[in-house]
Structures are given as C-alpha cells and as structure tokens.
C-alpha cells in the first residue's frame, strides 16, 4: 500500500486536487471555453452560490488528506463520485476537454485498487 509507485500517484493526485480546489476560490488558472450546453450547466451551478465553493472545499480537503497520507481510503472514497461526475459532464457536454479528467479518474481508480483490502468488507 505504501510503495513508491503508490506514493507518487497519491502525491500527483493530491497536487492536482489542491490546484483545482484553490483555483475555485482564487482563479489563477484560466477556465477553458465550454460549448453552450456546458456553459449553461456551469452557470447554473455557479448561480446556486454553494455548489462550486463546496466542491472546491472538498477538493482541498481530499488533496490535503492525500498529501499528508491521512485517511487515504476515506479521501479516495469521497473523490470517487466527484471524479465520476467530472467524467460524465465532459462526456456529455465537453468531450474535447476530457484529458485531465481521465488522468484524475485513472489515478483515483489505481489508488482505490492499491487500497482494495480496506474496501473489501464493503462488498
């Protein structure tokens, strides 16, 4: 569970989550242009006033948990529905932008696989 490979995957995923989570508050990375349907959906999420900030907070918390190797299986479990929704959003509303999301999902799946013994009792 704590091989060098797993540590590198965890570290990359943590840094990515921290960057995207902090970006939701600071806005240091440009937001790519979305097709009209994707733009409408994101505008609706922003209009609620809570979805994007909560998502940013969750990404920061999960990133910190992964970075400091605390409650990693729990953090990965929290990240699973987030990465699933990101993938689905991009499949249905912005397919050309799916690259980074696939990397996020791949890292999440690989780390869940590496910690599978912890999840086994759930099944």
Integer Cα distance of 9 and 7 in angstroms: 5
- The pLDDT tens digits for 50-87 are 999 999 999 999 999 999 999 999 999 999 999 999 99
* Number of H-type helices and E-type strands within the chain: 6, 0
- pTM score: 0.92
Q: 3-state DSSP call for residue 68?
A: coil
Integer Cα distance of 69 and 64 in angstroms: 8
- The pLDDT tens digits for 2-46 are 789 999 999 999 999 999 999 999 989 888 888 888 889 999 999
């Amino acid at each position: 569970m704590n091989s060098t490979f797993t540590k590198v995957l965890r570290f990359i995923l943590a840094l990515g989550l921290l960057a995207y989570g902090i970006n939701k508050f600071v806005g240091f990375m440009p937001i790519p242009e979305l097709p009209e349907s994707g733009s409408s959906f994101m505008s609706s999420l922003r209009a609620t006033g809570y979805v994007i900030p909560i998502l940013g907070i969750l990404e920061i918390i999960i990133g910190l948990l992964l970075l400091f190797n605390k409650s990693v299986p729990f953090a990965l479990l929290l990240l699973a529905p987030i990465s699933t929704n990101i993938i689905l959003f991009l499949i249905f509303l912005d397919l050309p932008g799916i690259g980074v999301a696939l990397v996020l999902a791949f890292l999440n799946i690989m780390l869940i696989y590496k910690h599978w013994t912890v999840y086994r009792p759930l099944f």
